[in-house]
Structure 1
Amino acid sequence: MARRQRLRDAVVGLDIGSTKVAAVVAEVSQTPEPVIIGLGIAPNSGLRKGVVVDIEGTSRAILQAVEQAERMSGVEITGAVISASGSHIGSLNSRGVVAVSRPDHEITADDVRRVLEAARVINLTPDREVLHIVPREYEVDGYDGVKDPVGMVGGRLEVEAHMVTAASASLQNLMRAVARSGLEVEDLWLSGLAAGEAVLTPAEKELGVVLLDIGGGTTDITLYDKGSPWYCSVLPVGGEHITSDIAVGLRVPLPVAEQVKVEQGCATVPQAADREFELPNPSGRGTRRVTQRDVAAIIEARVQELVLLVSREIKRSGYPGMLPGGVVLTGGTAQLPGLVEWMAQVLDLPVRVGQPSGLAGMNDIVAGPAFATAVGLVRLAARSPVREAAPAQEREPSPGLLERLRNWWQALF
């Protein structure tokens, strides 16, 4: 297929995970949602627990995924919005306050920028940086609950902001891997926040909800309240740890263990069946009979650990509400049979599996929870004010990555 030049209305989301890289291409038109026109998937062994440990290996996986997406979409991909994860991610809530600058006390966009800068003045070690700053709500002269203060009148402007921090070296290594594949990093988003854009409803975000994005090497935890993130963290546990446990417990190679997890896996023993299936003997001669309950007994221990860690993180967040939105699971491991029921029982909250919905075009190819982050990246890219501001040929030189992210958050929230 002959390639087209990359158009202004084409956006690319690149989910760089611990076990796979997924590239989703979409066209942005007058429709409410981006139109999916391409997908590329490649296995990735260059990340461990969300952190790059092999730049060349990660770059090769990115290239493979991008080439597949180009062939399917017919679009030449030169840049992408990418995801980041890893246990180095941290978050905190901060407040900032400034005096309104104009003599008539009308609040301007410059006042909003100043108050956000005031909120981000926190003590960080030299090896960390602010990845996102999210204005949760503003106060004008003591009146809270303001979502957009521009144009209002007041003498004192305050903001409650949520900040996501990350290890600088980890982000730099990730962006170097993308650069070596020949792509431009157009923007970078925390995986959990991107997944939330794909699977959460506005009502859930407003009421209070926990999103668990269970990937291959990590689980991103994002707690939303009043429409914005309240707490973000990343656990170094994911689906590949379940695969590894099965490989050790049943004494089979990792590819066989992954197949067993997908075809026979169940979160707990009581929910498993007595159904038998065959596996090769460790000696390589002949086969043996194994039941689904045998597999569930191995998986259950790891699932219990994950649920316990999630429960601790929710308590650690200090969130004072009741989370009526419950828990939404996404990521490939969210499809593990019995996981929803087990988490609902242990956490005493409603639990559902979140899948990207409301998509146009080739929506069936990205409808599963495994593609939530990539779809969320595409939606965020489509909503970028930089993209909407002018045709590609007329744009001014773009600001730095972190500056664009700050402007983006102000537009979204």
Structure 2
Amino acid sequence: MVNEIAVGLDIGTTKVCAIVAAPDENNPGKLNILGIGRSPSDGLTRGVVTNIEKTVRSIQMAVAEAEAQSGVKISAVTVGIAGDHIQSFQSRGVVAISRPENEISQEDVDRLIEDTKRVALPSDRKIIHVIPQQFIVDGQDGIYDPVGMSGVRMEAVVHIITGLVTAAQNIYKCVQRANLHVNDMVLEPLASSYAVLDDEEKEVGVALLDIGGGTTDLAVFEERTIRHTAVIGIAGKKVTDDIRKGLGILTDQAEKIKQEHGYAFMPAIVNNEPIILPGIGGRPPIEIDKRLLSQVIQPRMEEILEIASMEIKRSGYSKHLSAGVVLTGGGSLIKGTADLAREVLGMPVKIGIPSGFSAGLVREIENPIYATGVGLVMHELKHRDRSTITASMTSEKGKGSVKSIFNRMKTWFDEL
């Protein structure tokens, strides 16, 4: 079982989570959650490392807790990457098939994916993921696995996700300084999608909105593949800052009342009993009205959702999302967030809870704050065979070929 264990490390702006899991031997396709580690994080800003030492300490604390709970010595992790430096765009490529009988091989697909990556990028930016959306053989589109087909000309439409080299290097450096090996680096909304979306939702069209502490991550899916990604540099920490400034209280107090008493949608307030906070420095207790608190929270949450709405429209798939929007991440836990999202986005909305496990710490892990960590574990187990380089498809509907992120990261560090 030790060889099958995977660890997801979600390094966020407000928290670091380490999830230890393994396949459940009694339930094929399900996970056994062995350990969960969580520590505060204050070494990142909007998903980007700004203090190496603080981030290393947060990683060490989360990993130590996960090790103690699971009884597993953690030496390697799959880590998430986010931040408003992330950019994405569409690309196309084309190759000729010249082998006998014009049968398409995996090597042809490899060449084609490499061709799609021949795009001009600034020197400080590198490709993180190349996600095939469809292949076109002799003009026939809608093909997801062209290997074995006959044809003379093959094209591919792909979604390319890029990030700043330095941002990725600093994450890598922090993990290494915590005495851990990086198995893989995965875009966080892509990871979260493994944990909270099912194939049916991805088939008919769905947008995943992960409201974290430092960033809000968006991923749009249709026909079981990713169509658009975006990272919004406003999230839960901004809401906490608004409460702190607006009500003149401490950051810890602001975070606590946001989680326990906050409403993102004022009409959702059921009980308007006042919130009593201890006074600072021996001063009298502070009494706060829930509606006043909501008046501080709602505008910022509306801003996040309005930017997300613009990104969904920019994707060109706003009319194709039959499954609507799935909210996840810690920000989705603010009461009334789903109600506000329905009003702002004008489509069905639900809260996405991580799923896909049947043993271990099941009850503890069923929380949106763990969506990325669980998804990183799922990604690692799905792509564990490093000898077979497969595309970052979001389902088994089709496979292509790309250079693994693991090898790309080694190249980045060779450039230092």
TM-score by length of 1: 0.91
Aligned to 1:14, which of 9, 12, 22? 9
- Number of the residue aligned with 1:308: 306
CA RMSD of aligned residues (A): 1.9
For 1:343, the aligned partner's letter is A
After TM superposition, give the deviation of residue 88 of structure 1 in Å: 0.4
After TM superposition, give the deviation of residue 57 of structure 1 in Å: 0.7
After TM superposition, give the deviation of residue 280 of structure 1 in Å: 3.2
Contact 1:9/1:29, CA 8 A, preserved across alignment: no
Deviation string, structure 1 residues 328-353 (Cα, Å, up to 9, x no partner): 00001111111101111121100000
1:205-354 alignment runs, 5 A limit: 205-272=202-269, 273-281=271-279, 284-319=282-317, 321-354=319-352
After TM superposition, give the deviation of residue 14 of structure 1 in Å: 0.5
Q: Tell me, in whole angstroms, the C-alpha distance in 1 between the residues paired with 2:384 and 2:52.
A: 31
- Number of the residue aligned with 1:23: 18
Q: Tell me, in whole angstroms, the C-alpha distance in 2 between the residues paired with 1:238 and 1:180.
A: 28
Identical pairs, percent: 40
1:402 aligns with 2:393: no
358-367 or 118-127: which moved more? 358-367
After TM superposition, give the deviation of residue 403 of structure 1 in Å: 5.9
Structure 1 residue ranges without an equivalent (≥5):
1-5, 390-398, 407-413
The 3 A distance-change label for structure 1 pair 71 and 46 is same
After TM superposition, give the deviation of residue 202 of structure 1 in Å: 0.6
Q: Tell me, in whole angstroms, the C-alpha distance in 2 between the residues paired with 1:320 and 1:210.
A: 9
Q: Tell me, in whole angstroms, the C-alpha distance in 2 between the residues paired with 1:405 and 1:355.
A: 32
Partner of 2:100: helix, strand, or coil?
A: coil
Number of matched pairs: 392
The 3 A distance-change label for structure 1 pair 265 and 316 is same
1:368 aligns with 2:367: yes
After TM superposition, give the deviation of residue 29 of structure 1 in Å: 5.2
Q: Tell me, in whole angstroms, the C-alpha distance in 1 between the residues paired with 2:73 and 2:280.
A: 47
Aligned to 2:93, which of 93, 96, 105? 96
Deviation string, structure 1 residues 303-342 (Cα, Å, up to 9, x no partner): 1111111111112223364311100000011111111011
For 1:24, the aligned partner's letter is I
Partner of 2:104: helix, strand, or coil?
A: coil
After TM superposition, give the deviation of residue 358 of structure 1 in Å: 2.9
Q: Tell me, in whole angstroms, the C-alpha distance in 1 between the residues paired with 2:385 and 2:182.
A: 14
For 1:330, the aligned partner's letter is T
Contact 2:134/2:141, CA 8 A, preserved across alignment: yes
Q: Tell me, in whole angstroms, the C-alpha distance in 2 between the residues paired with 1:13 and 1:151.
A: 35
- Number of the residue aligned with 1:108: 105
For 1:363, the aligned partner's letter is V
Structure 2 residue ranges without an equivalent (≥5):
389-401, 410-416
Deviation string, structure 1 residues 246-298 (Cα, Å, up to 9, x no partner): 11111111111111101110012232242112123456411132211111011
The 3 A distance-change label for structure 1 pair 403 and 178 is closer
Partner of 1:386: helix, strand, or coil?
A: coil
1:81 aligns with 2:84: no
1:166 aligns with 2:169: no
The 3 A distance-change label for structure 1 pair 62 and 186 is same
Q: Tell me, in whole angstroms, the C-alpha distance in 2 between the residues paired with 1:161 and 1:403.
A: 20
After TM superposition, give the deviation of residue 201 of structure 1 in Å: 1.1
Contact 1:101/1:111, CA 8 A, preserved across alignment: no
Deviation string, structure 1 residues 68-110 (Cα, Å, up to 9, x no partner): 1111111111000000000000111111110013122110000
For 2:199, the aligned partner's letter is P
Deviation string, structure 1 residues 212-254 (Cα, Å, up to 9, x no partner): 0000010001111111111111011111111111111111111
Deviation string, structure 1 residues 159-208 (Cα, Å, up to 9, x no partner): 11111111111001110011110000100100000000100011111111
After TM superposition, give the deviation of residue 11 of structure 1 in Å: 0.6
TM-score by length of 2: 0.91
Contact 2:217/2:232, CA 8 A, preserved across alignment: yes
Q: Tell me, in whole angstroms, the C-alpha distance in 1 between the residues paired with 2:160 and 2:275.
A: 49
1:200 aligns with 2:197: yes
1:356 aligns with 2:326: no
For 1:27, the aligned partner's letter is A
The 3 A distance-change label for structure 1 pair 359 and 29 is closer
The 3 A distance-change label for structure 1 pair 239 and 216 is same
Contact 1:70/1:76, CA 8 A, preserved across alignment: yes
Q: Tell me, in whole angstroms, the C-alpha distance in 1 between the residues paired with 2:4 and 2:241.
A: 42
